[in-house]
Structure 1
Amino acid sequence: MAEPSATETQSAGQVSPGPVSPGPVSPDQGSGVVGAVIATRGLTKRYRGGQLAVDGLDLTVPAGSVFGFLGPNGSGKTTTIRMLMGLIEPTSGTARVLGRPMPRAARTVLPRVGALIEGPALYGFLSGQDNLLRYDAADPTADPRTRRERVAAALDRVGLAAAAGKKAKAYSLGMKQRLGLAAALLQPRSLLVLDEPTNGLDPQGMREIRALVRELASDGTTVFLSSHLLDEIEQVCTHAAVMARGRLITQGAVADLAAGARGRLVVTTPDTGEAARVLKEQGAGDVVVAEDRVTAEPPDRDLADLNAALVAAGVRVRGFAVDRASLEDAFVALTGEGFDVAG
Structure 2
Amino acid sequence: MRHSASGASAGTRAGTRAGKEAGTRAGNPSVDQVIVTQGLTKRFRGGQLAVDGLDLAVPRGSVFGFLGPNGSGKTTTIRMLMGLIEPTSGSARLLGSPVPRGLRRVLPEVGALIEGPALYGFLSGRDNLRRYDAADPTADPRTRTARIGDALERVGLAAAAGKKARAYSLGMKQRLGLAAALLQPRQLLVLDEPTNGLDPQGMREIRSLVRELAADGTTVFLSSHLLDEIEQVCTHAAVMTRGRLVVQGPVAELSAGARGRLAVTTPDRADAVRVLKEHGVTDLAVAGEKVTGELPVPPPDLAVLNAALVRADVRVRAFGAERASLEDAFVALTGEGFDVAQ
* Structure 2 length-normalised TM: 0.92
What residue is the counterpart of 1:13 in the other structure? 6
SS in structure 1 at match of 2:222:
strand
Residue type at the aligned position of 1:16? S
Where does residue 79 of structure 1 map in the other structure?
A: 76
Offset, 1:33: 5.1
Moved more, 298-307 or 313-322: 298-307
Query: For residues 97 and 31 of structure 1, do their structure 2 counterparts lie closer, same or farther at Cα, with a shift above 3 Å needed?
Result: farther
1:12 maps to amino acid: A
1:339 aligns with 2:332: no
Amino acid at match of 1:14: G
TM-fit CA distance, 1:109: 1.0
Instruction: Assess if the C-alpha contact under 8 Å between 2:61 and 2:217 holds in 1.
Output: yes
* CA deviation vs aligned residue, 1:174-223 (integer Å, no higher than 9, x gap): 00000000000001100000000000001110000000000000000000
Q: Which residue of 2 aligns with 1:296?
A: 293
Secondary structure of residue in 1 paired with 2:172: helix
Q: Hey, what does 1:110 align to over in structure 2? A: 107
CA contact (8 A) 1:13 1:180 kept: no
Query: TM-score w.r.t. structure 1 length?
Result: 0.92
- Specify the alignment match of 2:324 in structure 1: 325
Equivalent position of 1:25 in the other structure: none
Does 2:208 align with 1:215? no
Q: Which runs of 4+ in 1 moved over 6 A?
A: none
| Residue 243 of structure 1: how far off its partner (Å) | 0.3
Structure 2 counterpart of 1:99, which letter? G
Give the C-alpha shift of residue 309 in structure 1. 2.2
Q: Which shows bigger deviation, 286-295 or 193-202?
A: 286-295
Alignment of 1:231-250 (within 5 A): 231-250=228-247
- Once residues 252 and 75 of structure 2 are traced to their aligned partners in structure 1, the CA distance between those partners, rounded to angstroms, is 25
> Which residue of 95, 117, 120 corresponds with 2:92?
95
Query: Residue in 2 aligned with 1:310?
Result: 309
Q: Alpha-carbon deviations, 1:93-117, whole Å to 9, x = none?
A: 0000000100000100111100000
Q: Per-residue deviation at 1:268?
A: 1.0
Aligned to 1:22: none
Matches of 1:247 and 1:308, distance apart in 2? 45
Query: How far did 1:341 drift?
Result: 5.4
Aligned residue pair count? 326
Q: Give the equivalent residue in structure 1 for 2:123.
A: 126
Preserved CA contact (<8 Å) 1:31 1:39:
no
**Structure 1: gaps spanning 5 or more residues:** 1-6, 19-27
1:263 is aligned to 260
Seen in structure 2, the aligned counterparts of structure 1 residues 307 and 71 have a Cα distance that, compared at 3 Å, is same
Structure 2 gaps of 5+ residues are: 12-24
Displacement of 1:227 after TM fit? 0.2
After TM superposition, give the deviation of residue 165 of structure 1 in Å. Answer: 0.2
- SS of equivalent to 1:37: strand
